[in-house]
Amino acid sequence: MGVDEGRGFVPAYLKLGLENLRRRAGQAYRELKSCRLCARECAVNRLLNETGICRAGRLVMISSYGPHFGEEAPLVGRHGSGTVFLTHCNLKCVFCQNYDISWEAHGEPITVRKLASILLSLQNRGCHNVNFVSPTHYVPQIIAALYLAARDGLRLPVVYNTGGYDSLKTLVLLDGIVDIYMPDVKYMDSDTAKRLSGVEDYPRVAKAAVREMQRQVGDLVTDRDGIATRGLLVRHLVLPGGLAGTAELVDFLAREISPDCFINIMAQYRPAYRAQQFPPLDRRPTRDEILEAIHLARGRGLRVYT
């Protein structure tokens, strides 16, 4: 992990400039007219509140927000990561660990102005970043809220905490806005992706997304206190029975992304939602399966966080 020795952190969106940020928000909103924000390409008019597979409409919906201490250490620091849990999801994982938010739409619609005030409140509470959880389907609203919040003094790094099923066009809209990309790369096998998340092309889309994220922000960088300020941090939830394709993923990261790529091997999978109907998802991964995943990542020389 690189160390940012520079004084006075300036987030990407402030370097981009307020006027450019405002223009980017307008550009992103136009995408809602025929929504192709993610690779589902539903082409519904979300400005008229039509909904596609993710079920998100015109207004952003959030489930909760606040300082979170369960994220990776470089995000949490002493005061927590300022997470905003967004309602709905463009993936349809049968084992979703947050299914009340993704499938059952727990949350409430809010205005972009309210979202901006939430971001500022997270900064006032001392959080080290603003961390959008499942942001893909709300990218226009997020950029617009960042514009308003930046205008009023936001200067925290932005974390884009995604399931990895992001279109390149949407990621390009975020170029120069996101400081830290945190994709949760779920599978490397198309049949598994189709069966468990309803997206056969997940491996291809997620790999292309990670390449673009790395192009934009590079390897993870922290400040002198160990707090992440910029870069790519890949997440990978170990699934039972080798369903997550860990060997192929770490090989891809080491060969095509960076030998210094930072990966969090997550061991907390538990059967949730409809997982009981999809063995071996009906059990937690064994200790050996988790150790094997860590061993594979370390064996490829990646920076492993567990």
Q: Which residues bind ligand SF4 (CB under 6 A)?
A: 35-38, 40-42, 44, 52-54, 56, 90, 137
We find the least distance from the C-beta atom of residue 55 to ligand SF4, in angstroms, to be 8
Distance, in Å, from the CA atom of 217 to the CA atom of 256, rounded to the nearest integer, reads: 15
Nearest to 128 by CA among 69, 181, 79, 162: 79
CB within 8 A of 168, min separation 6: which ones?
A: 208, 209, 212
We find the least distance from the C-beta atom of residue 165 to ligand SF4, in angstroms, to be 8
Q: The tokens of 171 are what?
A: 């990621």
Cβ nearer to ligand SF4, comparing 31 with 72: 31
Distance, in Å, from the CA atom of 109 to the CA atom of 141, rounded to the nearest integer, reads: 12
Residue 93 labelled as part of a binding site:
yes
Cβ nearer to ligand SF4, comparing 140 with 157: 140
Main-chain dihedrals φ then ψ at residue 251, nearest 5 degrees: -65, -45
Q: Where are the alpha helices (DSSP H) in the chain?
A: 12-16, 18-31, 73-76, 99-102, 112-124, 139-151, 168-173, 190-197, 202-217, 246-252, 287-299
Cβ nearer to ligand SF4, comparing 120 with 199: 199
We find the least distance from the C-beta atom of residue 76 to ligand SF4, in angstroms, to be 29
Cβ nearer to ligand SF4, comparing 137 with 236: 137
Q: The tokens of 24 are what?
A: 């980017």
The one-character DSSP state at 253 is: I
Q: Which residue's Cβ has the minimum distance to ligand SF4?
A: 52
Q: Answer whether 67's CB lies under 8 Å from 81's CB.
A: yes
We find the least distance from the C-beta atom of residue 91 to ligand SF4, in angstroms, to be 9
We find the least distance from the C-beta atom of residue 34 to ligand SF4, in angstroms, to be 9
The one-character DSSP state at 66 is: E
Q: Between the CA of residue 65 and those of 77, 78, 243, 260, what are the distances in Å?
A: 17, 17, 31, 31
Residue 261 labelled as part of a binding site:
no
We find the least distance from the C-beta atom of residue 160 to ligand SF4, in angstroms, to be 14
Cβ nearer to ligand SF4, comparing 197 with 246: 197
Residue 89 labelled as part of a binding site:
yes
Cβ nearer to ligand SF4, comparing 40 with 207: 40
Q: The tokens of 47 are what?
A: 């400005």
We find the least distance from the C-beta atom of residue 102 to ligand SF4, in angstroms, to be 12
CB within 8 A of 1, min separation 6: which ones?
A: 74, 219, 220, 221, 222, 231, 260, 262, 303
Cβ nearer to ligand SF4, comparing 42 with 254: 42
Which positions make up the binding site for [4Fe-4S] cluster? 89, 93, 96
Which positions make up the binding site? 89, 93, 96
